[in-house]
Amino acid sequence: MEIIYQDNNLIVINKPPGVSAHGGETVSGPTVVDFLLPKFPEIISVGDDPSFAKATEDKLIIRPGIVHRLDKDTSGVMVVARNQPTFEALKELFKTRKVEKTYWAIVCGRMREAQGVISAPIGRLVANPLKRGVEQATSMRGEPRQGRGRSRIRGARDAVTEYRVIKKGDMYSLVELKPKTGRMHQLRVHLKFIGHPIACDVVYGGKNVCCPDGCHRQLLHARSLTFSFPEGTRLNFEADAPEDFMLAQNVLS
């Protein structure tokens, strides 16, 4: 796991695919936290409830230092706080949408529009609370249409994603994504919603989703994070895509 940047307040990593951010009941294998704790033991007391670490070893489940997460199979930039004041400040930046996030994805199909905005509320699927879905049959501009009812989704919240097509092929497209909200699985759900699921994403694209040979995870990469910290100091961190993502781009040539 590559450490992109570190100082007294921050650790920025390029998370590889196949690694969960932190431990939990359903998590298997080494995590980002497992990688960071031996190198930065101070993060054990950083988080939503730092005092809890003094009484139990279950702090791993409370995500020590983890300000935000990426899905296990999503690669790319993650920032981790080394102290509580930094944790609180960064959490507020994410909450108030003052962090600019840029992702790259290889998606199924040749996208017609060069750029656009997907505005469609996202909530938990009633039939499967572990998955998310669009509130109803909403247009790409967020206008409701007749179709599936709201009963399939619970707790829907506004979700907005900007996209720009970088390169098109006959069967795949390389897309830059800028989520303006931070809903769970937002990019995967929104791309499925517009008919271009992320390549190899069997959870949202289905078992027959398009997938380049040799790829075994959704082809989504967190390319960069940009934010001001401390206030007035603009920071930008970028991470190169992993080998499987780069090789998959051959399907666009």
Three-state secondary structure along the chain?
CEEEEECCCEEEEEECCCCECCCCCCCCCCEHHHHHCCCCHHHHHCCCCHHHHHCCCHHHHHCCCECCCCCCCCEEEEEEECCHHHHHHHHHHHHCCCCEEEEEEEEECCCCCCEEEEECCEEEECCCCCCEEECCCECCCCCECCCCCHHHEEEEECCEEEEEEEEECCCEEEEEEEECCCCCCHHHHHHHHCCCCECCCHHHHCCCCCCCCCCCCCCEEEEEEEEECCCCCEEEEECCCCHHHHHHHHHHC
Q: What is the pLDDT of residues 98-115, one digit of tens each?
A: 999 999 999 999 999 999
* Residue 25: per-residue pLDDT: 65
Active site residue 71: yes
Catalytic residue among 7, 34, 58, 71: 71
Q: What is the predicted pLDDT for the residue at 53? A: 47
Residue 28 has pLDDT above 80, yes or no: no
* Average of per-residue pLDDT across 232-248: 94
User: Is the per-residue pLDDT at 241 higher than 90?
Assistant: yes
Region 130-154: mean pLDDT is 60
